Each structure stands twice: as structure tokens, then as C-alpha cells.
Amino acid sequence: MELGSRLIEIYHRLYQAYGPQGWWPGESPFEIMVGAILTQNTSWRNVERALARLKAEGLLSPERLYALPLEELSERLRPAGTYRVKAARLRAFLEYLFRVHEGDPGRLAQGELETVRRALLAVPGIGPETADSILLYGAGHPTFVVDAYTMRLLERLGLLPAGASYADCRTLFMAHLPPDPQLFNEYHALIVRHGKERCRKRGPRCSSCPLLDRCAYGVAQTGEESDGSAGAVGTAR
DNA sequence: GCCCAGGTGGGTA
DNA sequence: TACCCACATGGG
């Protein structure tokens, strides 16, 4: 089966199994961008606590946040963990936002995708996943967000070689799917949902997987049968 | 007590 | 390049 069709089939299976995920939770593009930085190596629940603190004090706007002294910012980010690191990273992002986009997330969204992406990657503390999250979920650009779940899943499905890079994985999706932000949005969220429930790093082999038995932890990685034969194994029950 | 979470950057060999 | 580690809170 052609790769694009295979990726679409996987998407449909996930969607059928889990339904719409409603990503990214947030009341504004700016809140989403802040959340993208806060969620680095952190559970979303802890991110929500920090966002709630900022909201409760009316600080969740580019101007207010930028005006907040670094120490006060980091205190409010405590519940999200790695709070001193995140305060510095958030500050660096705000400096970029004001320097290049007049502090306006809407203007960031109007920029050309790859141009803004390169600029974001140059901001200390913003790596590829955070940049793509900001661009896709915050700015509505058709860029695919790759995370550990995504890499693990594609490797287990035999669509990526072991040790593939972030760029390899992103390119795989973007070269074989239409550049549809809504599709990319839901697809990534579904992969994370699937990963949390059934495609973990460790743990028992997943049962009744909506995808393929092969995405399960512990299944031999032979790399063979790259066509659709394995795709018929999973049934969304 | 341990591992993990919607990563990133710096250091070492 | 390939690992290893710090960052740090909160949940299972």
C-alpha cells in the first residue's frame, strides 16, 4: 500500500477508536503558545495548574507576562516543574514575539511557515517539537508535530527505521499527507492518546489495539511486511 | 521508593 | 555522532 494511504488508514483507525481529541485546550493562541513551552517533559495536568495561576492573576497576555520580573514569573510556573528553566524560556519566546511580531501572536501566525519555524528554533529553549506545536496549534500552520509517541509508533509499524530523526518523522507525514492543519492537529493528538493508552515505552503488550498488533510493546521488530498485510490485523474493537 | 510526563540544551568521549 | 545529565513538580 502507498505510504500516504497507509498514513490515512492509520488516522482513520485512531479516529474511529478514540474520536476527536479537542486539542489544543486553551482560550487563545497565546495561551496555547505558552502551554507549548510549559508542557516540555511535563504532564498536561501540571501545565494547567500553572496556566490557571497566571489566569487568576490576569497575567496571561503577552504584555503582562513580558512585564513580569523573571523571579515572579518563575514562582508562578512552579506547579509545571522545571520552573526556572521554563521562566527563562518563556521570557526568551516573549522577547522574540515582541522583537519580530510586535507582541502579537496573530502576526506570528501570518508569517511564512518555514521562515517563522527557523526563527522559533533560534530562540533558546524552543526545539522542534515546541516550535511545531506553537505553529500548528497556536498559529494554524500545516506543520506536523512529532513527539516520542510518534517516533515509537512509526518505528513499531515499520514505517521508520530505528533511530530515525525528528526531521525524518516530520517529513514522512508532510510529504505524504495534504497540508491540512486540522488533519495534522487531530492526527498528532490521536497518536498521543493512543500512546498513553497502548503504545507506552514499557508495560504489557497492548491488547485489542485499534492499529496493529505490531505497535505493541515487546513485539519483534523485523521490519518486514511493509505492505498492508499487517494492516488487516487490527480491528477497532 | 521508582518511573513517567504532550523536551531542550549542555557536556563529554 | 552518540550518549548522559540537569531541570523539578505531581501522579500512579
Count the neighbouring beta carbons within 10 Å of the beta carbon of residue A43: 11
Residue (of A118, A126, A51) closest to A93 by Cα position: A126
A169 and A150 in contact (C-beta within 8 Å)?
yes
Q: Kindly list the protein residues whose beta carbon lies within 7 Å of any strand C atom.
A: A 41-43, 45-46, 49, 74, 78-86, 163
For position A124, what pLDDT does the model report?
97
Q: What is the distance in angstroms measured between the alpha-carbon CA of A198 and the sugar C1' of B7?
A: 22
Q: What is the distance in angstroms measured between the alpha-carbon CA of A63 and the sugar C1' of B10?
A: 31
For position A232, what pLDDT does the model report?
29
Which chain B nucleotides are covered by protein, judged by CB under 7 A?
A: 3-10
Which chain C nucleotides are covered by protein, judged by CB under 7 A?
A: 2-3, 7-11
User: For each successive 10 residues of chain A (237 residues), what is the average pLDDT?
Assistant: 91 93 96 98 98 98 98 98 98 98 98 98 98 98 96 88 93 98 98 83 60 52 32 29
For position A235, what pLDDT does the model report?
29
Which nucleotide has its C1' atom closest to residue A92's CA? B8
A30 and A105 in contact (C-beta within 8 Å)?
yes
Longest dimension (CA), chain A: 58
Core vs surface per residue A174-192: b (16+ CB within 10 A) or e: eeebeeebebbbbbbbbbb
Q: Provide the whole-model pTM.
A: 0.89
For position A229, what pLDDT does the model report?
32
